[in-house]
């Protein structure tokens, strides 16, 4: 299994490199100290299983440098750029290496390898503290100013503490070609600029020399987010750091979690009748929704089948005492999943109030919505019924064991179970519910039991008050 060097979760870097990308700029040649990457969402430490490159070897982008044993599997550490392996800091078999802890050193020239033969991270750290973050001095007046490959922008994903983050080889090519890295969009981890990015920017500059020179750097418009880039037959739409983190998280979940899905149809006629009856005596701002009943039923089902309110933790299964439901909500630019906390302790009134408060926080730009509002969920509910989609087989969220996908509510023809009826079939209002399960935590029988209990509560809402 191959993975990229850096994964993100909830906007936080689980990083393959220390935040300052530690370097020593004393008497040593330019080099890069690489830390242990986070190769799974829950990884905190790892073990070097095998080195597939030895000191002095050439590393090409895409090569596997070493294999790392994580809390879940043995995975490959794949190079993102060309370089030479100058020094291995953690020998094969070294265990309990913390994420971000230096494991090897690279250089961009083979001639620099020998100078780092006795490299020690302890000796290099003091030198890295001060000059490392300082930008390279601007060329003297007699030297033509470098051509900016793109409009100047506010510090973006490829900057750390105001400093452009790029590989040594990318910096070398940029210096030699006169391309300013400040305007180059990086395609490496966390937007890190690699060789291919500089070469692409150089090609754009060379194809439009007049237009580039006509716009002074000071007059270039600043942008808080990267704009779409048009390439003739297609357009590239840049992703925010959080969007990239979410995508990496979903990918890792699909790779790591042995999913299975169970689907059932639930009849809502009694629930809709109960909702209509209750809403007659409620104010317009307190009207109960079908979603309130669904949340209540899910929370009560977790009480009946507590094994589902759990998470796989590698060497043990953690069973949660309260039900915190991550509720998928559609917003401009995608979806978010804020958490309704302690849903098992609230009745329909409390759930209704909590949902309204959460919706207000999500939709109001001036709200005090924080990262904590999206963390700590023990179960996820996704509803795509408003798009007339019949069913949804979801991906189980991190640190959870199951996720419920709901489809559209529709009138369907079903067998008539009334023994006194003259018609064989009848109309019923139904919805399809699909439970995605982590097989490591929930076996098929437990998953089926959960769905059966959920169906029982939804189809007979009076049971929710018992």
What CATH class is the domain 163-204?
few secondary structures
pLDDT cut 70: percent of the chain above it: 75
Residue 128's contacts (CB-CB under 8 Å, 6 or more residues apart) are 20, 22, 23, 24, 25, 33
Residue 156: the pLDDT is 42
pLDDT band at 14 (very low <50, low <70, confident <90, very high): very low
Catalytic residue check, 439: yes
Domain 31-115 adopts which CATH fold? OB fold (Dihydrolipoamide Acetyltransferase, E2P) (2.40.50)
Distance between CA atoms of 194 and 82, rounded to whole angstroms?
A: 9
Distance between CA atoms of 434 and 389, rounded to whole angstroms?
A: 12
Q: What angle do CA 71, 73, 75 make, to 5 degrees?
A: 115
Domain ranges of the chain: 31-115, 163-204, 257-464
What CATH number labels 257-464? 3.30.559.10
Q: List b or e across 101-119, with b for residues whose CB sees 16 or more CB atoms inside 10 angstroms.
A: bbbbbbbbbeebbeebeeb
Of 269, 371, 443, 460, which is the active-site residue? 443
98-147 pLDDT, tens digit per residue, is: 888 899 999 888 888 988 888 887 655 443 333 333 333 433 333 344 44
Q: What angle do CA 94, 99, 103 make, to 5 degrees?
A: 50
Residue 16: the pLDDT is 38
49-77 pLDDT, tens digit per residue, is: 899 999 999 998 888 899 888 877 788 88
Q: Is the pLDDT of residue 87 over 50?
A: yes
Q: Are strands 97-98 and 74-78 parallel, antiparallel or unpaired?
A: unpaired
159-202 pLDDT, tens digit per residue, is: 444 455 667 677 777 777 766 666 676 766 556 677 777 777 77
Distance between CA atoms of 258 and 437, rounded to whole angstroms?
A: 8
Kindly report each contact of residues 381-384 with a partner whose C-beta sits within 8 Å and lies 24 or more positions away, as own/partner.
381/294, 381/295, 381/298, 381/325, 381/326, 381/327, 381/328, 381/406, 382/328, 382/406, 383/291, 383/294, 383/328, 384/408
DSSP code for 4: -
Q: What's the whole-model pTM score?
A: 0.53
218-253 pLDDT, tens digit per residue, is: 333 333 456 788 887 888 888 877 777 778 888 888
Q: Which SS3 state, helix, strand or coil, does residue 187 take? A: coil
């Amino acid at each position: 299994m191959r993975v990229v060097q850096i994964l993100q979760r909830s906007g936080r870097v689980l990083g393959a490199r220390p935040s300052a990308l530690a370097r020593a700029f004393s008497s040593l040649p330019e080099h890069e100290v690489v830390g242990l990457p986070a190769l799974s969402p829950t990884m905190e430490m790892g073990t070097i299983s095998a080195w597939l490159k030895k000191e002095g070897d050439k590393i090409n982008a895409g090569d596997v440098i070493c294999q790392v044993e994580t809390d879940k599997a043995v995975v490959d550490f794949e190079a993102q750029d060309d370089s030479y392996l100058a020094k291995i800091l953690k020998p094969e078999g070294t265990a309990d290496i913390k994420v971000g802890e230096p494991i090897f050193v690279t250089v961009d020239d083979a001639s620099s390898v020998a100078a780092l033969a006795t490299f020690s991270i302890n000796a290099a750290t003091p030198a890295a503290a001060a000059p490392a973050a300082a930008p390279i001095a601007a060329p003297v007046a007699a030297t033509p100013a470098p051509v900016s490959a793109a409009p100047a922008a506010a510090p973006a994903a490829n900057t750390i503490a105001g400093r452009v983050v790029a590989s040594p080889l990318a910096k070398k090519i940029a210096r030699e070609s006169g391309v300013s890295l400040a305007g180059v969009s990086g395609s490496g981890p966390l937007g890190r600029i690699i060789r291919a990015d500089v070469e692409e920017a150089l090609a754009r500059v060379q194809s439009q020399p007049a237009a580039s020179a006509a716009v002074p750097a000071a007059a270039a418009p600043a942008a808080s987010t990267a704009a779409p880039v048009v390439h003739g037959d297609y357009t590239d739409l840049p992703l925010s750091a959080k969007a990239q983190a979410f995508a990496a998280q979903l990918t890792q979940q699909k790779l790591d979690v042995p999913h299975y899905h169970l689907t059932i149809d639930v009849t809502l006629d009694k629930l809709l009748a109960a909702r209509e009856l209750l809403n007659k005596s409620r104010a317009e701002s307190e009207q109960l929704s079908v979603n309130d009943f669904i949340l209540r039923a899910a929370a009560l089902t977790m009480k009946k089948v507590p094994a589902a309110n759990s998470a796989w933790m590698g060497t043990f299964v953690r069973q949660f005492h309260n039900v915190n439901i991550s509720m998928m909500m559609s917003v401009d630019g995608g979806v978010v999943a804020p958490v309704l906390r302690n849903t098992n302790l609230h009745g329909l009134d409390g759930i209704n109030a909590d949902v309204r408060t959460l919706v207000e926080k999500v939709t109001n730009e001036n709200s005090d919505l924080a990262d904590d509002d999206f963390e700590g969920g023990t179960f996820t509910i996704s509803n795509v019924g408003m798009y007339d989609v019949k069913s949804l087989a979801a991906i189980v969220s991190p640190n959870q064991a199951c996720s419920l996908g709901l489809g559209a509510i529709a009138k369907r023809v079903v067998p008539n179970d009334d023994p006194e009826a003259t018609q064989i079939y009848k109309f019923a209002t139904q919805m399809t519910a699909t439970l995605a399960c982590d097989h490591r935590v929930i076996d098929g029988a437990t998953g089926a039991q959960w769905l059966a209990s959920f169906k029982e509560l939804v189809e007979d809402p009076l049971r929710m008050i018992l």
